[in-house]
């Protein structure tokens, strides 16, 4: 198993464009998480999937953000009409444990909105 | 609500010196506590975790942390710093209850190791 994979590693986009990120979790992990990390801050929780069901969305996830996990495998995070404030590192993690430990993080997608 | 506070956004030590990174938490329930390390342009790697077993927790790369309920602290230490320890370190806590799957992170401490 190669761990949690995220694609792309870096994305530069113009304000107003749509972007989509992909996360491939560890295959036996049924839980998947998205976090956002802005410069100089710790990661902040965005959303959580158990299998294909999205069980929690943070209020940080505005209407311009949507996440999916079809068939409980990979996940996508889409940001529509990007704004400069969306510039951040978007981290994906997966786990098989319900208690916050056993997370494996991916290397993240760094988004820059110009 | 649960939160963590990391004192000192930057800590600088000499190679071979003691490393001490501070973390205080607020939690209304017994917490699960974690320390993660992040190298530049990388994701987070778990160093160690406290899950209400032993109060002194040993992790990878020679790091350890002690849970002190009376001080609501979970400070990270390493007896002798190595150049490869230079990175950003995050303390995290889980809310517990129905949201125990979620990690709440501190703002991080960047460790600089001087030769």
Kindly list the residues of chain B whose beta carbon comes within 8 Å of any beta carbon in chain A. Answer: 9, 32, 34, 36, 41-46, 49, 51, 90, 92, 94, 99-108
pLDDT digits 0-9 by tens, A14-33? 999 999 999 999 998 999 99
User: Does residue B18 have a cis peptide bond before it, meaning omega lies within 30 degrees of 0?
Assistant: no
- Name the burial class of residue B99, with classes exposed (0-12), middle (13-18) and buried (19+) by CB atoms within 10 angstroms of its CB: middle
Asked if the model's pLDDT at residue A45 lies above 90, the reply is: yes
Structure tokens at A76: 């996508």
Residues B65 and B32: their CA atoms lie apart, in Å, by 13
How near does any CA of chain B get to the CA of A110, in Å? 8
End-to-end Cα distance, chain B: 41
Q: How many CA atoms lie within 13 A of A91 on its CB side?
A: 22
Structure tokens at B71: 């001080």
Count the Cβ atoms, other than its own, within 10 Å of residue A45: 21
Residues B110 and B115: their CA atoms lie apart, in Å, by 16
pLDDT digits 0-9 by tens, B32-81? 899 999 998 788 999 999 887 788 999 999 999 999 988 999 999 999 99
């Amino acid at each position: 198993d190669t761990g949690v994979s995220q694609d792309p590693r870096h994305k530069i986009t113009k304000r107003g464009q749509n972007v989509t990120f992909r996360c491939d979790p560890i295959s036996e992990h049924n839980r998947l998480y998205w976090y956002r990390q802005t410069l100089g801050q710790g990661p902040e929780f965005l959303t959580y999937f158990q299998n294909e069901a999205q069980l929690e969305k943070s209020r940080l996830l505005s209407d311009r953000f949507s996440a999916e996990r079809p068939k409980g495998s990979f996940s996508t995070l889409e940001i529509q009409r990007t704004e400069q404030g969306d510039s951040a590192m978007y981290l994906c993690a997966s786990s098989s444990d319900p208690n916050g430990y056993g997370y494996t993080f991916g290397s993240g997608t760094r988004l820059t909105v110009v | 609500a649960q939160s963590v506070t990391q004192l000192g956004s930057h800590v600088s030590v000499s190679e071979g010196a003691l490393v001490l990174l501070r973390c205080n938490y607020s939690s209304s329930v017994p917490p699960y506590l974690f320390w993660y390390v992040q190298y530049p342009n990388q994701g987070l790697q778990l160093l160690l975790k406290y899950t209400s077993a032993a109060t002194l927790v040993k992790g990878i790369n020679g790091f350890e942390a002690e849970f002190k309920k009376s001080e609501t602290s979970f400070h990270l230490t390493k007896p002798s710093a190595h150049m490869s320890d230079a990175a950003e370190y995050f303390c995290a806590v889980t809310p517990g209850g129905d949201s125990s799957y979620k990690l709440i992170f501190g703002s991080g401490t960047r460790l600089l190791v001087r030769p």
